[in-house]
Structure 1
């Protein structure tokens, strides 16, 4: 089959993923129109404790519950957060009714691709439940303290630098600026007038930074300067720099409470990775020899045609 046909198949797959949201958008527009006409109506009394098993619609004998609506709502993109709850409620309900009608009207066998997508969707949803259970346990305070001590307790002191630079296109421009500075010119003023870098408006000020923040040649040049000293012209992939070092300081280690959330997440992630390793070690997993499969086959939707 031709490349153009394959591309059309890829587009068709993407379009199928959009159709659910197309139904929802249509339903929401209808709900908004209805809500606009009922703005003066008295609101219906809400239940104190809504029951997720409460039936909100029945379509040819198939019940749709509040739980179905809540589950569908949880899968929506953030853009739907701006909608009023009553509009979103009516839109979701209408979508589920329409989807049920369409599902019931379908005759024959599902395509192979649809069957596989359903398998993958169940696999992903159940795996998500498992992940939530594994990572849902909060690490105890002793584990968090141990992680903090390991990461920060014996960390070597790190020097941070506060520097400014003037970025120009040529070495000659950089040399000319150094001559002006040696003659008493103000560094910030020269940066504002001559620098082509984004820090020009701040007089070339780069703020505080440590190792790994700047490209290596630039950082090394800064680290070799004395406070108040101006560098020789330095070339990087961005152009030519004239650098001055304003201050240095020893970086303070963060307090435990400031990094607690970060450490807890790292511990949860480590627990999850260990859990997966154990599952595979205890399980019977056999990976076939895929060397004979062209990796580009995953892009060929025509392979799933009946």
Structure 2
């Protein structure tokens, strides 16, 4: 394992925040038994676990069933859930601001199509690729402007934009410029797909607001990630880990390295945290 040296001693983290796809989960989407055991051992050692993902809230019940009862920060920081599945906080986009963003993107990037993530449903335009959104999800189809119209019990947590031909880096830069300060702009899939959240809504913002309320400092948090939507979280914590399979920007940003998701890199770090004396943990 290649690491960035840190000067010991370091206390055992009080909180571990981990991305899912490409980080905690293997490339086939499964959770290894080694990782499952490491998560449980960390909890038994008094370490809080937060699953921090771009996946929408409607995926939370299935995540808890397959991974375990942990805290979940979903939709790139737009929603926080307790281990019993109770919503603790949501940070939706303003419908008018999202509608204005759609108009700017249509003008700047012809051919763009949109999808919208709500709390328990999603919507997409007819031209937006019909990737799997979950077997039990409620799907709405129509123009983005209609999907963004306020409705009772329907909060917009994330707006997604796709382009059928532009390379991701080109599309992302055009989308980021169009959004400006009106939205947080990121990407996480490697496809020509860009994600927008309300201003100030990131994985880091929700993580720090929640952990701060628990009295946990940023230097008491270890975080793991692999894609650009993890960057704010990795920059915000004391011990940041890039997976061996991570995006180059994540590798440059994170303080530590750990093996790939298919090599149970998160589990290997958790095992070290639990095995070492609480006051003297080799983070990297």
TM-score bracket for this pair, using the shorter chain length: under 0.3
Structure holding more helix per residue: 1
TM-score, length basis structure 2: 0.20
Structure holding more strand per residue: 2
Q: Which has the higher contact order (CA 8 A, sep 6+)?
A: 2
